[in-house]
Amino acid sequence: MTRAGFYSLLLLLFPVTAALYLAAAAENYSRSDFPADFVFGSGTGAYQYEGAAFEDGRAPSIWDTFAHSGHVNGVTGDVACDGYHKYKDDVKLMSDTGLEAFRISLSWSRLIPNGRGPVNPLGLQYYNKLIDDLISHGIQPHVTLHHLDLPQALESEYGGWLNRKIVKDFTAYADVCFREFGDRVSFWTTVNEANIFATGGYSEGLIAPGRCSPSIRTGCFGNSSTEPYIVGHNILLAHSATWKLYRKKYKATQKGYVGFSIYTWGMVPYSNAKEDIIATQRLKDFIIGWLIDPLIFGDYPEIVKRRAKGRIPALTKYESKQTKGSFDFIGLNFYMVFSVEDDRSLPDFDKWNFWTDVGVKIFNIDSGNTPPDQLPVMPWGLSTLLEYIKQVYGNPPIYIHENGQSLKRNGTLNDTPRVEYLRGYIGGMLDAIRNGSNTKGYFAWSFLDCLELDGYEHSFGLYYVDLDDAELKRYQKLSAIWYSNFLKGSNAISEVGENVFVSLK
Ligand SMILES: *[C@@H]1O[C@H](CO)[C@@H](O)[C@H](O)[C@H]1NC(C)=O
Ligand SMILES: *[C@@H]1O[C@H](CO)[C@@H](O)[C@H](O)[C@H]1NC(C)=O
Ligand SMILES: *[C@@H]1O[C@H](CO)[C@@H](O)[C@H](O)[C@H]1NC(C)=O
Ligand SMILES: *[C@@H]1O[C@H](CO)[C@@H](O)[C@H](O)[C@H]1NC(C)=O
């Protein structure tokens, strides 16, 4: 039997299961409980989605290089979900699902292959068509400029984000994007999960450009105790210069918003011991405060400056002034809650890194019996985090830029753990909004099963992508139906109809 035939057979056999499941899943909230201007969407990143890595003038990014050196479990984004060719069908699918907004990132090295200089007309054409298509389907584009994918040319030429030259090149790239797309795009994010890019890429070397001290991992080059801070510093400067450019040159006519993005967790003390309570606050200061304090207060947190003394660049008076207040919103990527224990053990000097500065041990909290390969569902973790940001940072506008459940990619279309996850966390977010949090949007990660940081083994998609099919056919999962029903304001079983949901294997 062909694979398609196999699916059709399963479709015939199993619709009842899905119907029963959804019937039992009445919500205690609905779309209409959220503020009128709140947006719900989903998203993806350029390297993870587009494919066409060598087509139409695109040059490699640091993520291409990292993947081609075998560091992403031996796979690459050369083809990924082939969004470069399939975006039209995907936008149709988004529209059918009822998405109000979609979060994309632009591949800098597709638009400006050398990182600076000539703009690639075919790159412009692709993003113009994608953006137009989203808008013509009533879907608001939210655009990220840097999603872990600096042009390799700039990495090779001067060390990329380690070099202050990046500020000028990033701003020039942003200028091109505002000029070309800003008539239709109102929501811009400069750097996606900047803190994880700086630590993952320069302290642990687990994501591109894969730098760390040689003692941390064999074959690694870099300095885990200095580079994350230098990169974080340059990101802040590039971000604030970009925000300022938008203010001066585009805001009056385009009336859009430029924000920043970090990766966060829920963080709770491991015990009632004073050390663990202090350690939890320290982790918050390193994970949230490190790059957010400068935007709100104009300086790094005291504890970060003290622990990374002599290694973290100081924000000069001028830089502090330029950084403070330079954002219109903050994007948060949120997936889980950690329990935090104080850790005073001192590593060897040459093993010093960002995490030894933090000085904590972290544990995934499990509500009891979350199966391996799944993330526990703890909505209070998100409410508490949003409450913290409201109270400590003066309630800035927040977008949840990523939140979603990881499952084995080849599992099942009947992804009930993902439904439970989305239902739980959207509810947790609503609790915070009802208590005054200025959260303005939510983007379920991710729309399709595309490339993840660890390859194609686990995925977060609302839609499954069959990588064995030459056409990379998309299949709707239960989570897509649940989200769609939620967005369309209905849980009614009659709206689910004869649906899909079945085991893939
Ligand atoms: C990292 O840089 C610091 C400060 O320059 C230096 O003391 C340390 O030896 C360097 N570590 C490594 C592993 O290169
Ligand atoms: C929905 O119900 C859950 C569990 O019963 C509860 O924890 C949550 O606070 C409720 N959320 C809303 C928004 O009413
Ligand atoms: C709700 O907000 C108030 C005022 O900011 C705060 O004091 C209170 O702790 C919040 N409640 C929860 C459950 O977070
Ligand atoms: C997923 O299933 C396909 C088809 O059976 C197989 O080719 C592929 O290797 C599997 N991938 C993983 C990560 O298990």
Q: Kindly report the protein residue whose alpha carbon is nearest to atom 10 of ligand 4.
A: 410
Q: Is residue 178 part of a domain?
A: yes
* 300 part of a folded domain: no
* Amino acid, res. 58: R
Structure tokens at 6: 């196999």
Q: 164 is in which domain, residue-wise?
A: 41-185
Pocket test for ligand 3, best of 435, 437, 439 (most atoms within 8 A of CB): 435
Residue 202 in domain: no
C-alpha 225 – ligand 1 centre gap (Å): 7
The CA distance from 462 to 481, in Å, is 8
Question: How confident is the model at residue 27, as a pLDDT?
Answer: 67
Q: How far apart are CA 298 and CA 363, in angstroms?
A: 32
Residue 70 lies in a domain: yes
| Residues carrying an active site annotation | 193, 402
DSSP annotation of 150: -
Look at residue 98 and tell me if it is in a domain.
Answer: yes
User: What pLDDT shows up at residue 170?
Assistant: 99
Ligand nearest to the CA of 457: 4
Q: Is residue 76 part of a domain?
A: yes
C-alpha angle 134-136-139 in degrees, rounded to nearest 5: 45
- pLDDT score for 428: 97
Provide, rounded to the nearest whole percent, the portion of the chain with pLDDT above 70: 91
Q: What does the alpha-carbon distance between residue 139 and residue 143 come to, in Å, rounded to a whole number?
A: 12
Number of structural domains (the chain) is 1
88 close to 137: Cβ distance less than 8 angstroms: no
Q: Which stretches of 149-225 are DSSP H helices?
A: 152-158, 165-181, 194-202
The CA 325 to ligand 3 mean position distance, Å, reads 25
Q: 406: Cβ below 6 Å to ligand 1? A: no
417 in any annotated domain: no
Tell me how many helices (H) and strands (E) the chain has: 20, 13
Q: What's the pLDDT at 365?
A: 86
Say what the pTM is. Answer: 0.92
pLDDT digits (tens, 9 = 90+) for 404-429: 999 999 888 999 999 999 999 999 99
Please report the atom of ligand 3 found closest to the CA of residue 436: 2
| Collapsed DSSP state (helix, strand, coil) of residue 475 | strand
Q: CB atoms < 10 A from the CB of 90, how many? A: 23
Q: Is residue 392 part of a domain?
A: no
**Residues 181, 142: Cα–Cα separation, whole Å:** 11
Q: Which ligand is closest in space to the CA of residue 394? A: 3
- E strands, 63-184, in order: 101-105, 140-146
- Spans of the chain, pLDDT less than 70: 1-27, 367, 491-505
Report the alpha-carbon distance of residue 12 to residue 408 in Å, rounded. 24
CA gap 186, 142 in Å, rounded: 7
Q: Is the dihedral of CA 348, 230, 445, 368 positive or negative?
A: positive
